[in-house]
A = this chain, B = another copy of it.
Amino acid sequence: MKYCSNCGETVEHKIPEGDSFPRYVCSACDIIHYQNPNNVVGCIAESSDGRILLCKRAIEPRLGFWTIPAGFMENKETTAEGALRETMEEAEAKVKIASLQSVIDVPFASQVHIMYRGTLIDDAFGCGPESLECHLVAEKDIPWDDIAFPTVTFALKSFFADRTRNEYEVHTAAINRNRWDIAQPLPF
- Give me the interface of A with B, judged by CB distance under 8 Å: 1-8, 10-11, 18, 20-21, 24, 33-39, 72-81, 89, 96-100, 103, 105, 107-108, 110, 112, 114, 129, 169-170, 172, 174, 186, 188
* Chain B residues with CB below 8 A from A2, complex form: 5-8
Report the minimum CB–CB distance from A56 to chain B (whole Å): 18
Report the minimum CB–CB distance from A90 to chain B (whole Å): 12
Report the minimum CB–CB distance from A41 to chain B (whole Å): 9
Report the minimum CB–CB distance from A14 to chain B (whole Å): 16
Known: A3-B4, A80-B105. 14 other contacts (CB 8 A): A1-B6, A2-B7, A4-B5, A18-B129, A36-B38, A36-B75, A73-B112, A76-B107, A76-B108, A78-B105, A97-B188, A98-B188, A100-B170, A100-B172
From A74, A78, A89, residue with most partner B Cβ within 10 Å:
A78
Report the minimum CB–CB distance from A114 to chain B (whole Å): 7
* Chain B residues with CB below 8 A from A4, complex form: 3, 5
Report the minimum CB–CB distance from A168 to chain B (whole Å): 11
* Chain B residues with CB below 8 A from A33, complex form: 5
CB-contact partner of A76 in B11, B39, B110, B186, under 8 A: B110
Looking across the interface, which residue of chain B has its beta carbon closest to that of A170?
B170
Report the minimum CB–CB distance from A58 to chain B (whole Å): 11
Question: How many angstroms between the C-alpha atoms of A13 and B40 in the bound complex?
Answer: 23
- Which are the 7 A-B pairs with shortest beta-carbon distances? A78-B105, A3-B8, A170-B170, A75-B110, A1-B5, A5-B5, A36-B38
Question: How many angstroms between the C-alpha atoms of A7 and B2 in the bound complex?
Answer: 7
17 A-B pairs with CB atoms under 8 Å apart are A3-B4, A3-B5, A5-B5, A5-B24, A8-B8, A20-B89, A21-B74, A36-B72, A37-B39, A37-B73, A39-B39, A75-B110, A76-B107, A76-B110, A99-B188, A100-B103, A103-B170
